[in-house]
Every structure is written in C-alpha cells, then in structure tokens.
Structure 1
Amino acid sequence: MIAANVMTTSPVTVNENTPVFEVVDLILNLKISGLPVLDSDGTMVGIVTEGDLLRRRELGTEIKRPYWKELLFSPGRLARDYVQSHASYAGEIMTANPLTVSPEAPLDEVISLMENHNIKRLPVVKADQLVGIVTRVDILKALHTIWVRDRDNESADKKKIDDESIKNEIIERVQSQPWAPKSNIRITVNNGVVDIDGVIWDENIRAALITLIEEVTGNGDIHDHLVFIEPITGFCIAKQD
C-alpha cells in the first residue's frame, strides 16, 4: 500500500495571508490538527498545526524565560518566539518547508516518518504541487476498510475448518516467528477449542502466542496451560484458567 491509496485528496488549505483566527476556525470546524499553507502560485510553502498556536499572547502562554536564560539565546531566536506568539497571519507562524512524501511513498515509510518526527499528518506532493495529505485518521480508515472487507469475505465464504487444519496452521505460523518457542510448546485442537501447553521465559511470548492463535481461529476459545519460568530465579508460574 502506498500514500496515494490512503491520502485525502484535495485537502483544505490556507494561504500565507490567511488570518490566524480563520486558521483556528477551520481547525475547530473541520476537526483537523493542521492545514497546508500555499503561496500565491499555489505552491505549498508550509503547514500550520495546533502546535503552532499553543504559545499565544491572547492566552498568556507566550514562552517566558528568566532574564539570565534569555542571555543564552540569540536575538534572532527570541524574535522568532515573539512572532510565533503575536503574529496575525498563517505565513508568519507556519512551519516552513515541512516534511512531505510522494504519492508513491510506501505506507510503512509514511508511518515511520510520522513516528520518528512525532507528527500527525504528511502532505503529499507531486511536481511541487500539493495533491493530498495523509493523516493518522486516514491510516485508521484504511485499516478499518480492510477489516470490513475481510469480515465480509469470511462471511461469504465461511466454511467449517477441521481441527487438524486449525492445528497445522497454528503450528506453521509459530514455526515462522523468530520469537516463538518452537520446541517448547504443544498445540491440540478439539471442536475448534485450542489447548496450548509448554514453557515460556517471557510473558510477552504468552500474549503473542494467544494473539497468533486468535488470528487463525477468529475467536478466543483458547485454554492457556503455558508455564512461565522466570529466567533468573527459575521460579515457575502456571497459568490458571
């Protein structure tokens, strides 16, 4: 999946001369966290977000530093802080030259950028023109669409799967996972109910095994008999159903 598959096309934008109060109106009315900023030629030059509007003189939230600390900052830095809290137009408070992605950017790359830079949205640009925007909500919508599609497909093609097939698929998936204790567990299936026995050295492995089984069976009919052995003390804890 790529950015073009999930992005919002024709996103709402503002221009450099849009008053700040209109930016706030749009953010509140549209229930979004930021807006691309375009210049007079329609080229994206920045993005203004909720974060750009938190330190405002109207709120009394301008950055206030002790005099001695201000001596550590250049006049230019102090001037930028003043503009951020007092400016009247989007172009003055926006984040210039924001991160962007192309429509062909893989979705995992988009998500990595969001995670690494702690941002909620990425403009999608082609030939210097804004063609869309990808937000965290857009990604969740794509996930929801996949879930609904898969659920509908399962309902349309639903058939009874025998216990041996369920067991074999679980074992096959366990064998493919680098974290799984392949030689320390035993799987049995009876009337669709899965029993899992064995030894683990990390409770995260228990959670992962249960998740894997639920992916195969589509339900929580699992009897967990795994024994946790604390690796340092050797203390054993058996799961109680």
Structure 2
Amino acid sequence: MSSLRFSLPGGAMMTGPAILARDMMTHKLITLSPDMDVFVAIEVLLKKRISGAPVVDVDGTFVGIFSERSCMKFIVDSAYDNLPGTTLRAFVDTQPPCISPETDLLTICQTFLNQATRRLPVIDEQGKLVGQISRRDAMRKVMQCHQTQRRQSTPEPLYLSAVVEDSQSVVARML
C-alpha cells in the first residue's frame, strides 16, 4: 500500500496511507446523453446549478464533458451557422483530463493545477464513468487530513491538582 507524505503550508507534514480518487470521489452524478438536445442539456445545467456534467452513452461508457464552455461554443456556432436544435454530441469535450480510481490526492491536485478544469471524471479500466472529483472535493479532503493530523498531534490536556501552600490555594488549571 502506498503512503501519503507531503508538507502543508506552515511546515506541517501530512503522512499516512495514500488517499485515492476512489476514497473521495462523488458517485451520484448528474449525467447527460450524447443524443440529448443541446437546449435540454443547457436547461439541466441551469436547473441543477452546475457548471458542467459528464456525458455517457447508454451502457455508461464515458463520452466526454459538456460544460459552460461547451455552451458558449454552441451559442457562437449557432449564431454563425444558424443551427437548429442539435444534439449534444457535436459540442462535447471528448478529450478532458480524466483520472483512474487509483489516482492519489497529490496527483489530483497537480492535475487541477496544470489543467483548466473544474472537475475530473474518474474512469475505470473499461472506460466507464465511476465518479467525479471537483477542485472543492480535493480541497475538502486536504482540510480533513490536516484537521485530523492536528487533532492527533495535539497533546492531551494536562490537569493539575489544587495545592495548598501557606494557607493560599493554587487553582488547578489546564495547560
């Protein structure tokens, strides 16, 4: 089993078992079909208040991502080509950065840093979409690890007993 070891701002070290995509990905996703009308897909994004969604075919195979950027491409193309309603397939980003369930947290963070993307689809060996990780998911996991580490490295409170000296009591205090 691989392990996680990197330093956080402030010098604290994070150590422990590697945190993998499968441990932090969102499983319940709003997905779109490549044969869906573009306007229906845009309506889904707006109603659900999301900036993009994975596109999968009928058997769950990952096709790509339809995002706000895809919507802008559709709008511009429609203005110039006077397109009637069309299917999503033509406007899906079919080459987004993807990760496997075994991708570690540091690699995920590096991918977000190097790619202009808000989400990383998690794809299994058969090309099926099994989950997704957002930048916020990664940040949340780092904070959970940081808080856990801080709790574990904080010494237990030391309780002192009251002592009587020269008729004056010293009040117990917690250090």
Question: Normalising by the residue count of structure 1, what TM-score does the alignment of the two structures yield?
Answer: 0.49
Bigger radius of gyration: 1
Question: Structure 2 vs 1, CA of residues 28 and 43 (structure 1 numbering), >3 Å: closer, same or farther?
Answer: same
Query: Counterpart of 2:101 in 1: which secondary structure?
Result: coil
CA distance in 1, matches of 2:136, 2:110: 15
1:34 maps to amino acid:
G
Contact kept? 2:52, 2:68, Cα under 8 Å: yes
| Aligned counterpart for 2:62 among listed residues 28, 44, 61 | 44
Q: CA deviation at 1:87?
A: 5.6
CA distance in 1, matches of 2:146, 2:47: 29
Query: Higher relative contact order at CA 8 Å, sep ≥6: structure 1 or structure 2?
Result: 2
Q: CA deviation at 1:153?
A: 5.2
Query: Counterpart of 2:90 in 1: which secondary structure?
Result: helix
2:45 maps to amino acid:
I
Query: Counterpart of 1:9 in 2: which secondary structure?
Result: coil
Contact kept? 1:102, 1:124, Cα under 8 Å: yes
Identity %, equivalent residues? 26
Contact kept? 1:3, 1:103, Cα under 8 Å: yes
Question: Structure 2 vs 1, CA of residues 86 and 116 (structure 1 numbering), >3 Å: closer, same or farther?
Answer: farther
Q: CA deviation at 1:56?
A: 4.6
User: Residue in 1 aligned with 2:105?
Assistant: 107
Q: Can you give the 5+ residue segments of structure 2 that lack an aligned partner in the other structure?
A: 1-18, 159-175
Query: Counterpart of 1:54 in 2: which secondary structure?
Result: helix
- The residue correspondences of 1:51-200 to structure 2 (distance < 5 A) are 51-57=69-75, 62=76, 82=81, 88-126=86-124, 127-150=126-149, 158-159=156-157
Question: Normalising by the residue count of structure 2, what TM-score does the alignment of the two structures yield?
Answer: 0.65
Question: Structure 2 vs 1, CA of residues 13 and 5 (structure 1 numbering), >3 Å: closer, same or farther?
Answer: same
Higher helix share: 1
CA distance in 2, matches of 1:131, 1:93: 22
Runs of 4+ in 1 over 6 A off after TM superposition: none
Q: Can you give the 5+ residue segments of structure 1 that lack an aligned partner in the other structure?
A: 64-78, 161-241
Question: Structure 2 vs 1, CA of residues 11 and 154 (structure 1 numbering), >3 Å: closer, same or farther?
Answer: same
CA distance in 1, matches of 2:55, 2:102: 22
Contact kept? 1:46, 1:95, Cα under 8 Å: yes
Q: CA deviation at 1:131?
A: 0.5
Q: CA deviation at 1:82?
A: 5.0
CA distance in 2, matches of 1:118, 1:96: 15
